[in-house]
A and B are shown apart, each in its own frame.
Chain A
Amino acid sequence: DAKTTQPNSMESNEEEPVHLPCNHSTISGTDYIHWYRQLPSQGPEYVIHGLTSNVNNRMASLAIAEDRKSSTLILHRATLRDAAVYYCILRQSFGNEKLTFGTGTRLTIIP
């Protein structure tokens, strides 16, 4: 499985945008980029995913580099409820439904 690299931790002020980076230099052409987050004492929850183009949903935006070797999850206006561990995961698009979690980025929101 292709591997992702994320910073161990980040801090951001409340009500400011947050940019969470992810490097995936060995990504294959058929890998989707998925982001999940895990709030304290809960199971992970899906945030967003994309293949080549930038994606937006109600939770966040995903910016994908043109060469697809990196991506950035953007929280447009962080709240205290966004404090979580964020996982960037590559998921093969054919015949493999498994997710391989790394250790993610622990995001702390400063009031």
Chain B
Amino acid sequence: DAGITQSPRHKVTETGTPVTLRCHQTENHRYMYWYRQDPGHGLRLIHYSYGVKDTDKGEVSDGYSVSRSKTEDFLLTLESATSSQTSVYFCAISGADSSYEQYFGPGTRLTVT
């Protein structure tokens, strides 16, 4: 299994509070991604990174920010959590070639009350 972990694995928070999710990899892969998954939907890309301090928006980036100060860590921050951000969040990593597969973490279940 690819060395990718997510923390926390579960979190319950209140509306309006800031939340940071962490993705950590031990594979030294260049690309890292944050997705969310809601019932009835496939995974939707929030943000991705193609190198340290290099990030870009995905299709559902509103309300989220990211940072990548080290190759191994990719942080997802909800500045002020809302109930619509209740979801399961997956981190993924991949190498530099477009044909390379993405490896996914175990997911973080976030509930905003």
Contacts and interface: CB of A to CB of B under 8 A. Distances in A.
Contacts of B98: 32, 91-94, 96-97
Given A43-B107, A98-B58, A103 B42 contact: yes
Chain A interface, DSSP helix/strand/loop, else mixed: loop
A96 B101 CA distance: 13
Interface in A46-100: 46, 49, 51, 87, 91-94, 96-100
A43 B105 contact: yes
A50 B44 CA distance: 23
A46 B48 contact: no
Interface residues of A, number: 24
Contacts of B40: 103
A102 B41 CA distance: 7
Interface string B39-57: 0111111001010000000
Given A45-B103, A46-B102, A103-B42, 13 more contacts: A42-B106, A43-B105, A44-B92, A44-B104, A91-B98, A97-B31, A97-B48, A97-B98, A98-B48, A99-B102, A101-B42, A101-B44, A104-B42
Interface of A: 32, 34, 36, 42-46, 49, 51, 87, 91-94, 96-104
